Amino acid sequence: MTQLSGKTLFITGASRGIGKAIALRAARDGANVVIAAKTAAPDPRLPGTIHSAAAEIEAAGGRALPVVVDVRDEAAIQAAVAQAVAHFGAIDILINNASAISLTPTADTPLKRYDLMMDINVRGTFACVQACLPHLRRAANPHILTLSPPPEIRPDWFAPYPAYATSKYAMSLLTLGFAEELRADGIAANALWPRTLITTSALRLAAPAEAAGRRPDIMADAAHCILTQPSRAPGASGRFHLDEAVLREHGVTDFDVYAATPGLPPELDLFVTG
């Protein structure tokens, strides 16, 4: 049996980008994937819908349940979780991937955009954990994985875009809290962040300038390493992982295979020193 075979992953924002890459990696093991995302119809700016992602997941060997979910809507989250459990019988893993981004300084960040980032990134993460928690407590190897950075407080990382940075760091602080709160339940809660830029359609929309990065597959492979570890093992929870470091721990040495543009060294991501 492959490592995530038969496991059910509830992944927010899984219609494209990193979320979809994590879903496809799990699908190759034969996992069940709940694609909890807003995009049911094609968006000309951002390719991919919950339905196209579902088709790719099933083609990769998994089972998919596409569900329209806006993580700002508590009722929608609760309904999606109920539907997932009715369909697959369980939720073993929660991936908090959905995120809003605005790389803007204070004067150029409308409060509507500020609210969007706080509602999706922070409140949405909390709401999804709260909704999935009863089912994670019943799982054999339960994991919560949140895509947020190591919580090092540096003014130079907050100054360029304080609203976005605060929202992402709040996700990390929630992760720290979940890890300790749920330790006795055997639920591992960790964060994962890319060491280098990950070239996704969302990044290109948020930061149109050309930048060298890596494909989302590196995040998917790192997530797979984390999610297949025993959740109750010492040191399995409360960690803030960088994708490259995780893979190096698992023996990976060739990172050129992940290059979005072969031959171009990838740039460091936000909130990473080196």
Q: Which residue has the tokens 């959905």?
A: 98
Q: How many whole angstroms separate alpha carbon 33 and alpha carbon 227?
A: 14
Average pLDDT, integer, range 180-196: 98
Q: Which of 161, 164, 169, 258 is an active site residue?
A: 164
Judge contact between 46 and 22, C-beta under 8 A: no
Please name which of 114, 93, 100 lies closest in space to residue 26, comparing C-alpha atoms. Answer: 93
Average pLDDT, integer, range 33-49: 84
How do residues 224-271 score in pLDDT, each as one tens digit? Answer: 999 999 999 999 999 999 999 999 999 999 999 999 888 888 999 999
> In the chain, what are the domains?
8-258 (3.40.50.720)
Judge contact between 146 and 152, C-beta under 8 A: no
- What is the percent of the chain with per-residue pLDDT over 70, rounded to a whole number? 95
What pTM was computed for the model? 0.95
Could you confirm whether 164 is annotated as catalytic?
Answer: yes
Confidence of residue 201 (pLDDT cuts 50, 70, 90): low
In the predicted structure, residue 205 carries a pLDDT above the cut 60: no
- What is the percent of the chain with per-residue pLDDT over 90, rounded to a whole number? 86
